Amino acid sequence: MERVKSGVEGMDTLLGGGLPKYRSILLSGHCGTGKTIFAAQFINEGLRNKEPAVYITFEQGRKKLIEDLSEIGIGFEKHEKAGLLKIIGGPIGQVNYFKDKTRADVSNIISEIKEVIEETRAKRVVLDSVNLYTMLFEGYIDRRKALAGLVSALEKLDCTTLLTCEVRENSRDISWYGFEDFVVDGVIALHRIPFDEGMYERAVSVVKMRGIEHAQTVRALRIKDTGMKIYPEQIPFHR
Ligand SMILES: Nc1ncnc2c1ncn2[C@@H]1O[C@H](COP(=O)(O)OP(=O)(O)O)[C@@H](O)[C@H]1O
Ligand SMILES: [Mg+2]
């Protein structure tokens, strides 16, 4: 299977070479575990090699996303200006781009996303987050259909996709509804592991990756002002 570089130092070692090309991977974790940073580094890795990319953000507005990422040395704005990157979306309350245009009909929203990816010839796509994307729809069945439909549409395009998924605080689930992990080809989980009163450390594990032999262990991860880094040989530091 062809691989693409994840853009996160150490991650490709855990994956035995990189993310599976043209597949959709769920990046799951509690709030603040680094999903957006991971996803942004994945996009940035492509941009550095002049690969077009689409970043769909429902979590924060475009401006805030760009601002936050500039703190860790990622300059999305210049790539957007150069026409290499398209950032779409905004906080869910004002996702007019999709809702007005499509009246939140599942197939319309999916074709809208497909169109953007085709137009830009994106090689890397991020949907941040699946939770807010599915909230455009009502009821469990429609939400499941919306995600399955999107992933199946993405399969026909020449792009590798990361879908972030926030999970409930204090739960050990790897997705919100329980169907997200079935729909995708792989799941990477980001963790915060408590080790002392009020203290925690970051870690990562590959939960599943179809067609790939990957590490089965939880490994240490750090976020600094230079971005996210994984220590592929290191069990969490405080174990
Ligand atoms: N410059 C930095 N130095 C250290 N940690 C940072 C820095 N920037 C962000 N972080 C950490 O990353 C977290 C946010 O990561 P983010 O990717 O937004 O999480 P998620 O998308 O999973 O909610 C912050 O809560 C903070 O702990
Ligand atoms: Mg986020």
Q: Do residues 136 and 99 make contact, with C-beta atoms less than 8 angstroms apart?
A: yes
From the CB of 224, is ligand 1 less than 6 Å away?
yes
Token pair for 25: 């991977």
Query: 81 by DSSP, 3-state: which?
Result: helix
Q: Does any domain span residue 224?
A: no
Ligand 1 atom closest to the Cα of residue 59 is: 21
Identity at 86, one-letter amino acid code: K
pLDDT average per 10 residues of sequence, the chain (239 residues): 97 96 97 97 98 94 94 96 91 59 71 93 97 89 94 96 96 93 96 91 96 92 98 91
Q: Does any domain span residue 87?
A: yes
Q: What is the pLDDT of residue 174?
A: 93
- CATH number (domain holding residue 131): 3.40.50.300
Q: Does any domain span residue 41?
A: yes
Q: What is the pTM of this model?
A: 0.95
Q: What is the pLDDT of residue 49?
A: 96
Ligand 1 atom closest to the Cα of residue 31 is: 23
Q: Do residues 164 and 35 make contact, with C-beta atoms less than 8 angstroms apart?
A: yes
Ligand 1 center from residue 85 Cα (angstroms)? 22
Name the closest-CA residue to atom 23, ligand 1: 32
From the CB of 31, is ligand 1 less than 6 Å away?
yes
Q: What is the pLDDT of residue 227?
A: 98
Helix, strand counts (H, E) of the chain? 9, 11
Q: Do residues 149 and 134 make contact, with C-beta atoms less than 8 angstroms apart?
A: no
| Nearest ligand atom owner, CA of 189 | 1
Q: Which domain holds residue 106?
A: 22-189
Q: Does any domain span residue 157?
A: yes
Q: Does any domain span residue 197?
A: no
